[in-house]
Structure 1
Amino acid sequence: MESEALFDLHPASGSWHRQRRVGFDLETTSRFPSEARIVSAALVTCDPDDSASPRVREWLVDPGVEIPQETVEIHGISTEYAREHGQDAAEAVAELLAALTREFVSGAAVVVMNAPYDLAVLRGEADRYGLEFPTPKPIIDPLVIDKQVDKYRRGKRRLPDLCGVHGVQLAEAHSAAPDALAAVQVADCQAEKYPELQMPAHEIHALQMGWKADQAEDFQAYLRKQGKADAVIDGAWPL
């Protein structure tokens, strides 16, 4: 399939990057969303009409399970620290879901780097505690956008890498609040560098669905050419 190419687009009024944006990030117990539990979460609101912007909301969570050392080395939150200082997981997840739901209902763009991971983890937590999961829309995913606007750039595409490309300062990589803010700043830079991305949030959300599907199809074709005949790459986005 082929979605609308970037060069077919034209800047539109009411661009998402000049309105209220909310960065969302999680730190978890596992890189596998099906088994990950939330350890910390952050929502960082960037609003041109708010003189106190950016505003940060954070949750430190006791996930109720052991936090593996390999993930402690990433985000620095140990099992003991989370148990002593963290909020009950069911309570924290309920608060986070309520806050995100309000943002989605308002139409604010929620910026999530590699959205399928964080949203899948949060949906799993919602299911675990019998909580309602909102329709995640509109989402801005700097990773999907980067692969669309700079398809042939060599190197990794993690958040620190994109920060380097766009000159965004990231003082504490793998901490929820700094990562959430940096994701918004990277997305803003992408919109300024590529004016074709300037449009209402719901429109670029829809475009990213097609872009992600195309990216997955291309990568799957590449892997199969490399001899991995059974390779299957999921193109679903944002979940």
Structure 2
Amino acid sequence: MAPDLPLPRWLNRVGVFDLETTGIDVMSDRVVTAHVGVIDADGRQIAARSWLADPGIPIPDGATAVHGVTTAHARAHGRPAREVVEQVIHALRSLLAQGVPVVAYNASYDFSLLASEARRHGVAPLIDPSPIVDPFVIDKAVDRYRRGKRTLGDVAAHYDVVLEGAHEASADAIAAGRVAQALARQYALAESSEELHTRQVGWARSQAASLTEYFISIGRIDPAETLDGAWPVRSDRHA
């Protein structure tokens, strides 16, 4: 991990975003917690807001085991889901309108589920949010043949980014932002956040095509199926 490139100016101040949810289906699962923040060039959080929602459905035990929020806690302390979704979208829209890139790890999951929630609650969704920075897509593109898992925890460890409190929305969001900055210090990603956004659209499409071939080869999906490579918002149910 020798290169130590200067951080691009457009990564000196970036938004960070993460959701914790009731499950992994972007069409039917719901927001439980959310975090939108801003970090500076040193990865320090300089603005932040977190939300706890009552998702309106029971939180499965498996999801609670991941993020720690029970149905009872969400019902007792969470804000109405529509209110949370509306406020999260407003916070993201405000950052993007200022030209502040927003980092989200595996962005197509978070933005797609948020779009589904917006439609469910009659809230105006984010349309083609940009510029988005997705360390999951970038890492797979710049270090394609590295062995091992690509979870946020694994990738953070690879780039020497500390992740404390994994699967807590604020911790994951901040770590994703710091991983994005670490990637930019390791690889010459793009001259601008807009250029990187465009590159990620192509990378995500290629990665979905490769994963489709692999899943077909191991019998996980039918040969007639394809994974949706649309990024950063998709409609496909595959995680």
Scaled by the length of structure 1, the TM-score of the pair is 0.88
Tell me the number of residue pairs that the alignment of Structure 1 and Structure 2 aligns.
226
After superposition, the Cα gap between the structure-2 partners of 1:15 and 1:215, relative to the gap in structure 1 and judged at 3 Å, is: farther
Shift of 1:235: 1.3
* C-alpha distance in 1 between matches for 2:131 and 2:89: 15
Conserved 8 A contact 2:11-2:41: no
What's the counterpart of residue 68 of structure 2? 76
Conserved 8 A contact 2:7-2:184: no
**Runs of 5+ in structure 2 lacking a partner?**
234-239
Shift of 1:28: 0.4
Identity %: 41
**Runs of 5+ in structure 1 lacking a partner?**
1-10
After superposition, the Cα gap between the structure-2 partners of 1:187 and 1:199, relative to the gap in structure 1 and judged at 3 Å, is: same
Which SS does the other structure have where 1:186 is aligned? helix
Answering whether residue 116 of structure 2 is matched by residue 124 of structure 1, we say yes
Which SS does the other structure have where 2:224 is aligned? coil
Cα RMSD, aligned residues only: 2.2
Conserved 8 A contact 1:29-1:68: yes
Answering whether residue 167 of structure 2 is matched by residue 174 of structure 1, we say yes
What's the counterpart of residue 237 of structure 2? none
* C-alpha distance in 2 between matches for 1:145 and 1:56: 25
Answering whether residue 25 of structure 2 is matched by residue 38 of structure 1, we say no
Equivalent in 16, 20, 26 of residue 19 of structure 2: 26
What's the counterpart of residue 141 of structure 2? 148
Which SS does the other structure have where 1:54 is aligned? strand
* C-alpha distance in 1 between matches for 2:25 and 2:218: 25
TM-superposition CA deviations, 1:181-206 (whole Å, max 9, x none):
00000010000011x21421111000
* C-alpha distance in 1 between matches for 2:218 and 2:20: 33
TM-superposition CA deviations, 1:96-132 (whole Å, max 9, x none):
1111110111111100101111011110111111111
Shift of 1:218: 2.3
Answering whether residue 137 of structure 2 is matched by residue 113 of structure 1, we say no
After superposition, the Cα gap between the structure-2 partners of 1:82 and 1:164, relative to the gap in structure 1 and judged at 3 Å, is: same
* C-alpha distance in 1 between matches for 2:84 and 2:117: 10
Shift of 1:226: 4.9
Mean CA deviation greater in 156-165 or 125-134: 125-134
